[in-house]
Structure 1
Amino acid sequence: MSVKAKRPAFVVALVALFVLLAGTPAAATIADPAGSPPDVTDCLYAPGPYSNSPPPAQACFRAYGDQIWVYDFDTPYAAIGMWENQLYYGGAWHAYRSDDCQNLEGEGEWGVCNYDFYEDGTTHKFGDKGSRVRFRACGAWGCSGWSSWWRNNN
């Protein structure tokens, strides 16, 4: 029986530094350990150190359940799924919330973060309707581009 090693404290500190330098919010969500994601909507891969390198991390969005799934292929720090949520009101889209889902489970493991986004067709706190989400995958060598905006209908 093998015992899975957790990431040491200095790795968590390095992740925090990476997140700070990447310009993301200070708050972060640590992913819960998880199996493979069910019916995800879309997935992106974080870039490796070279253009022909395999990706170190993958992030996926699952609209049903408002989940960000993050897979650690082989990143020396943490695999991260960053996301942004906007609400529509006053005739335009406005930033509402953002966060990042950090998978600290280690190489070859999935992690999942559950959020509670407004549904696109329900009235939100500003008295209007409209909610959308986008995400990207980040690893030790940077982040992917942002996904398309997903209207949160599930």
Structure 2
Amino acid sequence: MVLADINESMLKMGREKLRNIGVIGNVEYVQANAEALPFPDNTFDCITISFGLRNVTDKDKALRSMYRVLKPGGRLLVLEFSKPIIEPLSKAYDAYSFHVLPRIGSLVANDADSYRYLAESIRMHPDQDTLKAMMQGCRIRKCRLLQSDGRGCGVASWL
């Protein structure tokens, strides 16, 4: 298993979390940019990215890089926040994300800015159909979107 992140602090946090649940061996930690993964072609059976694709500057480049290192028939799983697809929830979600969440972040973590960034990064991330088209443009086929329940979080599965 390889745990990769561009941010050294996130790698340390991931290492610590794995140690806390008893996962110590057979894990390689690599500081890497998703847009230029430092692995040979056809290396991985499965690649997952959770709540990270929306933070990547050039999503197309990152998707091409992931596809390159994925073995033929391998699977790419993307878990990401997305905009709610149910209109009444969308307005409530925006109000919560841009007004309530930063206040909670300020009270709980003394960090409203990170929670404002979270809301803005979700808003700027491509919607499900656009992301699917981006994936297909990177030669990734058999796209399947699994929207959790319309509230704004889902899994995208591609082969």
Q: Same fold (TM over 0.5)?
A: no
Task: Tell me which structure has the larger Cα radius of gyration.
Answer: 2
Q: Which has the higher helix share?
A: 2
